[in-house]
């Protein structure tokens, strides 16, 4: 269902979005207060299983006790496994430590991994679940906006290497996703804004009315309540539809990478650090993708300007000059882009736009047009 600009439903009960993958399909439960229902919801899909809760130290201080209490109330034993927060933990050493802790706790194939945290926790815990004992079941409880609308849905798991982001991983669909929108109240404004870039992305891909609704109602999404639930549910519904048609990114699913070819290069250039959060990089990357689209004659300049204006209005960066510290030159950024997973036969694959809500997969793009777009961005303070 496409949103009507200026109007959103007021759900009295949690919203359920189905990811239709046949026997491997699963539900995404979306709404406030769902963490307290974790035990009964997990027990429905995995009764009597032991739960290995992978989380980070920051999330654990807030949510590990209520999560374990909810599981215990449903008769589910749980064992927490902690990791340091941040993208720098999404690596082989942390992956090895998590798997070791799972095996030391005598996890069995009938047990499950519960990922309690943001995208880093979900990606790493999911990869551990996909590979330990050749695969154990996974439940995602995303605690950030970015994870609720993007990384917890669709089965992508993985870790970073020195060659780039998410280059080692597996597709491993969860049994269940529990997106408690009340948990987002604990995010800093910067973290919430970062996740919002992925929400807006769904409107930009194929739902211009949703983007128009966000332009009018983004403040309500930030403040919470029905509009936040509506934004998360609409985003999850959009992703679920694409994943259901293209689980392993053989075609249409690549549209979800709008802006990401630029974004991943910028994240690498910033050292995967607090200098540039993932959603901030995506916001800049989407702006660059629209500018490249305009340069290639695919969309009008006012559409690219509209995208930049919306991100800027909510406080997301839209320019390279807004990234703290020095960035490498254009050649170095192009080299980082060449390491992206979306490279096919040595050529970069871009997600470009013929307008807002009209994204498409583009191959064989003239590298000089990409270079010119980056050069222009570097010279525009």
pLDDT tens digits, residue range 5-38?
444 544 557 999 999 999 999 999 999 999 999 9
**What is the per-residue pLDDT for 162?**
86
What mean pLDDT do residues 59-63 have? 98
Q: Which of 349, 22, 41, 8 minimizes the C-alpha distance to 209?
A: 8
Q: The tokens 């992508």 sit on which residue? A: 156
233-261 pLDDT, tens digit each: 999 999 999 999 999 988 999 999 999 99
Lowest mean pLDDT among 67-81, 147-161, 314-328, 330-344: 330-344
What mean pLDDT do residues 64-71 have? 98
* Residue 172 annotated in active site: no
- State phi, psi for 270 to the nearest 5 degrees: -90, 5
105-128 pLDDT, tens digit each: 999 999 999 999 999 999 999 999
Given 193, 264, 306, 310, which residue is catalytic? 264
Per-residue b or e along 206-219, where b marks 16 or more CB atoms closer than 10 Å to that residue's CB: bbbebbbbbbebbe
* Residue 239 annotated in active site: yes
**What is the per-residue pLDDT for 163?**
83
Contact present, 163 and 121 (Cβ < 8 Å)? no
Given 90, 172, 193, 260, which residue is catalytic? 260
What mean pLDDT do residues 78-92 have? 95
**What is the per-residue pLDDT for 338?**
87
Given 278, 291, 310, 341, which residue is catalytic? 278
**What is the per-residue pLDDT for 364?**
86
What mean pLDDT do residues 362-376 have? 94
Tokens of 254: 């690549």
* Residue 257 annotated in active site: yes
309-359 pLDDT, tens digit each: 999 999 999 999 999 999 999 999 999 998 775 666 557 889 999 999 999
**What is the per-residue pLDDT for 339?**
79
Domains defined along the chain, listed by start: 1-248 (3.40.50.1970), 258-381 (1.20.1090.10)
């Amino acid at each position: 269902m496409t949103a009507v600009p200026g109007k959103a439903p007021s759900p009295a009960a949690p919203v359920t979005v189905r990811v239709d993958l046949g026997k491997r399909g699963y539900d995404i439960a979306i709404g406030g207060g769902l963490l307290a229902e974790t035990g009964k919801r997990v027990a429905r899909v995995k009764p009597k299983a032991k739960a290995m809760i992978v989380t980070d130290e920051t999330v654990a201080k807030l949510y590990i006790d209520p999560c374990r209490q909810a599981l215990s109330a449903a008769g589910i034993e749980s064992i927490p496994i902690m990791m340091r927060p941040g993208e720098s933990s999404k690596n082989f050493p942390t992956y090895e430590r998590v798997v070791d802790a799972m095996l030391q706790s005598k996890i069995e194939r009938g047990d499950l991994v519960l990922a309690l945290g943001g995208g880093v926790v979900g990606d790493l815990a999911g990869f551990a679940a996909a590979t330990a004992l050749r695969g154990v079941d996974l439940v995602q409880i995303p605690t950030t906006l970015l994870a609720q609308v993007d990384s917890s849905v669709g089965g992508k798991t993985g870790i970073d290497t020195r060659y780039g982001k998410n280059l080692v991983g597996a597709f491993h669909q969860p049994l269940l996703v529990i997106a408690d929108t009340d948990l987002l109240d604990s995010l800093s404004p910067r973290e919430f804004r970062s996740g919002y870039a992925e929400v807006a992305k769904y409107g930009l891909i194929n739902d211009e009315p949703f983007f128009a609704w966000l332009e009018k109602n983004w403040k309500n999404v930030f403040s919470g309540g029905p509009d936040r639930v509506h934004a998360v549910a609409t985003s999850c519904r959009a992703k679920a539809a694409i994943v259901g048609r293209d689980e392993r990114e053989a075609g249409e699913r690549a549209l979800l990478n709008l802006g990401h070819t630029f974004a991943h290069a910028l994240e690498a250039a910033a050292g995967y650090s607090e200098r540039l959060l993932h959603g901030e990089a995506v916001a800049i990357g989407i702006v660059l993708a629209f500018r490249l689209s305009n340069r290639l004659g695919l969309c009008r300049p006012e559409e690219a300007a509209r995208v930049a204006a919306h991100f800027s209005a909510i406080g997301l960066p839209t320019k390279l000059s807004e990234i703290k510290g020095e960035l490498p030159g254009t050649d170095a950024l192009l080299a980082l882009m060449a390491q992206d997973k979306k490279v096919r036969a040595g050529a970069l694959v871009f997600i470009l736009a013929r307008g807002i809500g009209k994204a498409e997969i583009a191959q064989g793009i003239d590298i000089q047009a990409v270079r010119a777009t980056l050069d222009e961005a570097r010279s525009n303070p």
